[in-house]
Amino acid sequence: MKKFILIDNLLDGIGGHCYEYAVQVLESAKRSGYTAILAAHKKFPYTEEVFEVRRLYPLKEEYFLKNWIFRKVAQTPIFTLLEVFRKKKPPFFARFDETQKKSPLRLSLRILPKIFLFGLNRVDVRIRIFFFIRQTKALLDQVQPTHEDIFFVPNATLGVLNSLYQVFQRQGEPKGTWHILLRWDFVQDSSEFRKLRKYIKMIAYKIGKSRVFFYTDTQELTHQYKNKTGFLFETLPIPIRVQNLVDLQKDKESQKRSKDSRGFRIVFLGEARDEKGFGLLQEIISNLLEHFSEEEIFITVQSYSLASVVSDSIKSTMRFFKERVRGQRRNFLLKESPLSTIEYQNLILESDLILLPYCPSKYSHRSSGALIDALAYGKPVLVRDRSWLSEELKRQLSQIPSTELGNWGPADFSFDSDCLEEFINKVKRIILYSQEVKAIFSRIGAQVRSINDPDSLVERLKTNAKNRGVFNS
């Protein structure tokens, strides 16, 4: 029987966009008559899914060796003592610091750690590539691919591309078609594009141009990648559970019970990461709690983090929530654990406004699954200016007749992080005219659901493979 194999070496748990993405695509492949197989991290839990799971890949962290060493060093007493001296600088050490600024010893102490870290990073890369190659070869030995099989890699990085090429070089010409999705924004780094072009070229010539396909999931990234690499890219839809969303939206009684008269519900959707704008939440939520009473709004923050090394701004925001907000305000809820599919759906379903302050520099061309999910439910959102999220919202609003939009436009649903007074005014207006806003986003929900269907994604992969003659070989 023909097989559909989705490879995500970082997927190690249920919940989150990557998990939802994999489930939706594999369920669609199963409906299309394929044996659906997920190749995931070794820690992926045992769940009752409709697809097979191969738990293969042992590494998750990008710089696991460096992070492991730093964690061990940070636990030692000498490190704690050095941190105290670095921050407080007693007078003697401060004078020593000034006199030794240009000394060979001082220069050596500044350069040697950088050389050490550079070496650690190189070792990290080599180890990750080694394990990815070994486990992917094991996967190919297990599934015994045929020319009818489809391999889909939805979270490809430069390291994964390099590793795939080396797998193909050692295994010989692979069977089946390979579909590789790149979702990262390299706009500021031309060296990244040179590497990307090199790896794509090597893979294309090794597999054969008729059996490898490259994709992004935004028009902006597709245009960027085409121009920078000279290779053909296509734009895939961002899959959502269309039927599930429609069914859930019809359950009005369930919504009514869950709201429990808690006022206007504002939800932060995302992980506790800098790129998600989590560090901004301390100031944003402080302003919200200052301007609105406990009866007017209820705030829920999704705050789990899968990262082993957390930035100072994330730590500070988490401390603020735990020590100064949670337990002291009845209209605040902190969700620190990953959410199951049902919990994630319910969180969106029960919300009145979804806050997505994602970093514009990180999301200038890159997609946000959380935004697509929110829009698919027909939920109003607030996003930051000059990001892919604000541009996508603008595109969706532009498809609605001006007679239905009234006095609302894209600027009413985006904000500048440097002007939080304007942000508060926008929240107030959305609350005041919530019925008008809900009608607009309900229309957007229908548009988004019609486009981002997992069946259409799988059909695109099948069509590409058939058009190149692979299935007829």
Segment 105-140, tens digit of pLDDT: 555 556 666 665 656 666 666 777 788 888 888 898
**Model pLDDT, residue 247:** 55
- pTM for this entry: 0.79
The dihedral region occupied by 444, where left means phi > 0, alpha psi between -120 and 50, and beta the remainder, is alpha
Alpha helices, DSSP H, located in 296-384:
312-320, 341-349, 369-376
Segment 379-417, tens digit of pLDDT: 999 999 999 999 999 999 999 998 889 899 999 999 987
Q: What are phi and psi of 469, to 5 degrees?
A: 80, 10
* 242-451 belongs to CATH 3.40.50.2000: yes
pLDDT at 343 exceeding the cut of 90: no
* Fold match between domain 3-62+123-239+454-467 and domain 242-451: yes
* All structural domains of the chain with their residue ranges: 3-62+123-239+454-467, 242-451
Structure tokens that stand for 466 in this block: 């058939």
Segment 9-18, tens digit of pLDDT: 888 877 777 8
Segment 231-259, tens digit of pLDDT: 889 999 998 865 555 555 555 445 544 44
pLDDT at 287 exceeding the cut of 80: yes
Q: Is 414 helix (H, G, I), strand (E, B) or coil?
A: strand
- Average pLDDT for 194-207: 83
- Please give the share of the chain, as a percent, with pLDDT higher than 90: 30
Segment 156-200, tens digit of pLDDT: 888 888 888 888 887 777 788 899 999 887 655 677 778 888 888
- 287 with 319: CB under 8 angstroms? no
**Model pLDDT, residue 469:** 39
Confidence of residue 206 (pLDDT cuts 50, 70, 90): confident
Confidence of residue 307 (pLDDT cuts 50, 70, 90): low
Q: Which range, of 281-290, 299-308, 310-319, averages the lowest pLDDT?
A: 299-308
**Model pLDDT, residue 252:** 46
Confidence of residue 35 (pLDDT cuts 50, 70, 90): very high
Q: Is the dihedral of CA 312, 318, 322, 326 positive or negative?
A: positive
* 3-62+123-239+454-467 belongs to CATH 3.40.50.11030: no
What is the C-alpha separation between 401 and 239, in angstroms, rounded? Answer: 26
Candidate ranges 103-107, 137-141, 261-265; pick with highest mean pLDDT = 137-141
- Please give the share of the chain, as a percent, with pLDDT higher than 70: 77
